[in-house]
Amino acid sequence: MPTTLEPKLITGTANIPLAKAIARRMSIHRNLGLVNARVERFNDQEIFVEVYDNVRGEDMFIIQSTSRPANDNLMELLIMADALRRSSAKRITAVIPYFGYARQDRRAKARTPISAKLVANMLVEAGVERVLTMDLHAAQIQGFFDIPVDNLYASPIFALDILHQFKDTGLNDVMVVSPDVGGVARARELAKRINAPLAIVDKRREKPGEIAEMTVIGDVSGKKCIIVDDICDTAGTLCKAAEVLMEHGATEVHSYITHGVLSGPAVERISNSVMKSLVITDSIEPTDAVKNTPNIRIVPTAPLFAQAILNIWNGTSVSSLFETETLEPAYEGLYDL
């Protein structure tokens, strides 16, 4: 069996621009490109994958978010993993920037599934031997797998962006805000990185999708508030939280969200909201509407994923990428700090 000289990248159709950006980033130091393959849908929407390049004995990385349409993109990932396994790939790593079904991580009521666990089982059965993802909705999903899972964090990227955006006005009046009690740990992590205080918006729901009441815990008067969360779907909670913060005396409200699902009326809500800016990553390929919304800005994750893939392939530490200082060289040129 030949010795693996380079990591090999292959992509589904979920987020081709991100996959190309990762390959481009890795090709700075290595002559890397995406493995030649095709993903085809038959008339009945069955998915067919054909890999043209030889992958025998290779260390393969499949880049595929399981975002909308979640079921199609998940099936693509599973079928690609099966194709690579049957083609004698040495190791298959699923690079899933956005892990779909992550919000179904527990049984909230009787006779409901734990779909995140089911997805984990299917990935392993298809031949995936390692998973690389970012900002899992629930950290315990790593325990659903019996294979290694590397969960990257967007907070180092966000910290770099905040330091760049607020370098002229300073961080003295910046406050990090968690939009709910469950996201306090995530918000506290970012607050520590930029040395800012923390506030919480406590929300109560009468039923799913409807917010009955919001209470601000902490003094936000005269502050530039930065709301931090992992997922923005319909943006109802986010826009309402921004309004409540402004009502409590905040001077500006910005939001930093890892995964911009932005379904339904989300883009319209954000464009009409009191938020000065919404910053998302490209873990989910943005639509034209998202790209053209003036107060939505997209930060790249390709440098982070490219370095993580190289570290996995080299057998070096992935957790070193959790530190903002470690990522600064990877984002050199983008952020002049």
Binding-site residues sit at: 44-46, 103-104, 137, 180, 205, 229, 233-237
Q: Report the C-alpha gap between 282 and 290 in whole angstroms.
A: 11
Q: Report the C-alpha gap between 202 and 179 in whole angstroms.
A: 7
- The 10 Å Cβ neighbour count of residue 326 is 14
Annotated binding site for Mg(2+): 137, 180
Q: Report the C-alpha gap between 157 and 268 in whole angstroms.
A: 26
Annotated binding site for D-ribose 5-phosphate: 205, 229, 233-237
The vertex-19 CA angle with 320 and 105, nearest 5°, equals: 65
Q: Report the C-alpha gap between 131 and 174 in whole angstroms.
A: 35
Annotated binding site for ATP: 44-46, 103-104
Nearest one of 285, 215, 222, 210 to 250, comparing CA atoms: 222
Active site residue 192: no
Catalytic residue from among 8, 109, 192, 203: 203
Q: Report the C-alpha gap between 273 and 250 in whole angstroms.
A: 14
- Residue 105, C-beta contacts closer than 8 angstroms, at least 6 positions apart: 114, 116, 117, 137, 138, 140, 141
- 168-194 burial by CB neighbour count: b if 16+ within 10 A, else e? eeeeebbbbbbbbeebeebbebbbebb
Cα dist from 209 to 2, 48, 324, whole Å: 54, 37, 35
Catalytic residues, by residue number, are 203
